[in-house]
Amino acid sequence: MSNPNAAQAPVTVIGLGLMGQALAAAFLGNGHPTTVWNRSAHKADELVGKGAVLAPSVKDAIEASPLVVICVSDYDSVHELLDPVEGSLAGRTLVNMTSASSSQARGMAKWAEGKVGAYIDSAIMAIPPGIATDEAIMLYCGPKSAFDQHAETLKVLAPAGTTYLGEDHGLASLHDVSLLTMMWGVENSFLHGVALLGTAGVKATEYLPLAKALAVMTLGFIEAYAEQIDSGDWPAEDSTIDTHVDAMDHLLDESRELGVNTEWPALITALGKRAIAEGHGPASYAAMVEVFRKPSA
């Protein structure tokens, strides 16, 4: 059921760090009566100046709205704040935007059972200035009916990127780290490339257009790999892992000879060689997933 009066739906935001302030400002800017609370009350000053209500206690903050968002440093802080006032959460929807692991998120959902009207776990794939822009991605999981009820309100945080993942409360956190591993992989590769090219006086900005083109090309590769992985069959239609590992050896040798850091290429090469040792040399690069699926040796 969607909320017909979403624009007027009251929201509470607990936690006004860098992210919480951006979340509250987005709700406020979209016409939602917004109640806020923060351990250090002065962080509410700017929001109060724009019309937010600063609640005198966590309990008052919760009781001000049917939708309560919490975004603090970690889950210990979430418990510290909510455990003493859990009775106030009955009948309300709690959306926890604090980062955690999937097992912590599932644990929080267990804690919420019988106390909270509905518990939704969320992960924020944005930086504070990105909130309420089309770049923001907000991930949600938990009871679908509760998400649907508040979807219009939550959409102000990520107008183009509001994504419901399913009922399993671990899904948002799990997607969070799965996307971050990709982000750091791309960033580390770019920075290693910058270090290599820097030895020849090539500037990062000169490398950038080619790096971007390669990143786009790689997106095409992973589309094909996703199909292969889900079908459980990875014929080498473009290039084998054996061929990739030969190129990885060049990368490692070049890094060593040029005196730049070798840890990143050494890691990539070691993973490639393990895939070969497990018999995946003639397969498509998608078969590397078998190495990642197992715990480290």
Residues at the contact surface with ligand NAP, assessed by CB under 6 A: 15-20, 38-40, 43, 71-73, 77, 80-81, 98-99, 124, 127-128
* DSSP letter for each residue of 7-68: GG--EEEE--SHHHHHHHHHHHHTT--EEEE-SSGGGGHHHHHTT-EE-SSHHHHHHT-SEE
C-beta of 7 vs 127, nearer to ligand NAP: 127
Alpha carbon distance 59, 183 (integer Å): 38
CB of 179 to ligand NAP, least distance (A): 11
Radius of gyration of the chain (CA): 23
Instruction: Select 15 or 170, whichever has its Cβ closest to ligand NAP.
Output: 15
Is 40 or 205 the residue whose CB approaches ligand NAP more closely?
A: 40
Q: How far is the CB of 38 from ligand NAP (least distance, A)?
A: 5
Mention every residue, 6+ apart, whose C-beta is less than 8 A from residue 226: none
CB of 130 to ligand NAP, least distance (A): 8
Nearer to ligand NAP, 73 or 239 (CB): 73
Q: CA-to-CA distance for 9 and 65, rounded, in angstroms? A: 8
CB of 117 to ligand NAP, least distance (A): 23
Find the shortest distance in angstroms from Cβ 134 to ligand NAP: 17
User: Please, what is the minimum distance in Å from the beta carbon of residue 174 to ligand NAP?
Assistant: 15
| Smallest distance, ligand NAP to C-beta of residue 131, A | 9
Tokens of 258: 């040029």
Instruction: Return d(Cα 142, Cα 169) in angstroms, integer.
Output: 5
Q: 159 or 198: whose CB is closer to ligand NAP? A: 159
Shortest distance (Å) from residue 263 CB to ligand NAP: 26
Beta-carbon contacts of 75 under 8 Å, excluding residues fewer than 6 positions away, are: 98, 100, 104, 108
